[in-house]
Amino acid sequence: MMRDWLKKYTASEALQSSAVVRVIGDRGSGKTAYMASLARWPNADPKSPVQTVTPVGEAGEELVAKAQNILEQGLQLEQTRLDPNASDTKDYTLSITLKGQLSWKNPKATIASQLVNLNISCKDYAGEFFTDLLQQSGNSKLQDYMEDCLQATGIMFLVDGNSKRKDFEYATALDKFLTALDRTDINVGLRKIALVLTKCEQPELWVNRHRPDFLAEACFPQVCRKLKTWQQMGVGRVDYFTASAFGMLGQNFPEPNMNLLGRGRDGVAAVIKDPKRWRPFGLVAPIYWLCTGDRHKELDKG
């Protein structure tokens, strides 16, 4: 009886973690590609601690459809448009099941008792929202979005790691965002911000992908300074991550799994080169941190 109760408790309560997340970032930072790639989770590495990624509801299924019908066809996703009302923005729900560290150490352990479930409800804001913070801070539409952000326990700030020339602009918009975010007592002390450098399949980013703090500081020093100041105020926590929605090709001499469409001040635009070998990396690590408040060493490896 006690063993059955403990097994039920462990699987259904102790290892469940959830987060309500808002994804912000500039146009072209890869927000929708990130979410669609995560929902699709293609060519999963059998050594990965991620067992399954399950989209929940119509919005989640829509993400998978975008991955299959656009990304896997070597096409580029359309930019997300800013809805008139923040409440109309699609709320994507994903359930991510991790294998659990004990199952790696003890293959005979009961699998069900080792599973870790991450449940994430996530809104992918249009890049227009972030850009307009610089120019239209009094806009009522932006106010609606800020009110919606206040309901979140976590913010994923996605930045194209190749857009370092926009560091000052990002820092300025982020400063306005954080000021507005702190005008309420909701979630104070609980809110977390994950700075995620995307498109890290690019060689200059790839070589330092396991040093996210170093890479963030090197590419976006002013953004990091704003985030550290915010954290020192005691209203929340900050951490840094690297990710790629497309991943790499090859083992001995890896190359980016992408065909470059353009490169400029805003970063890079690209499509998947070989969909059959499409394997993203780094997508789950920030979500694990946003859900649990802890880093996961295996997920940090990609």
pLDDT digits (tens, 9 = 90+) for 177-196: 998 887 655 544 578 999 99
Helix axes 140-149 and 127-135, enclosed angle (nearest 10): 120
Distance CA 71, CA 187 (A): 36
Q: What is residue 10's predicted lDDT score, i.e. its pLDDT?
A: 40
pLDDT attached to residue 184: 56
Q: Contact, 98 vs 49, CB < 8 A?
A: yes
Q: What is the pLDDT of residue 125?
A: 83
With a pLDDT cut of 90, the percent of the chain lying above it is 53
Give the CATH number of domain 17-300.
Answer: 3.40.50.300
Q: What is the mean pLDDT of the chain?
A: 85
User: What value does the mean pLDDT take over residues 48-66?
Assistant: 92
Specify the pLDDT at position 137: 62
| Residue range 206-216: mean pLDDT, rounded | 96
Domain borders along the chain are 17-300
Residue 111's pLDDT is 45
Query: Residue 2: pLDDT above 60?
Result: no
**What region does 280 belong to: left with phi over 0, alpha with psi -120 to 50, or beta?**
beta
H or E stretch at 180: helix 167-181
Q: Model-level pTM?
A: 0.88
DSSP 110-151: -GGGT-EEEEEEEEE--HHHHHHHHH-TT-HHHHHHHHHHTT
Q: How many Cβ atoms are within 10 Å of 199's Cβ, its own excluded?
A: 29
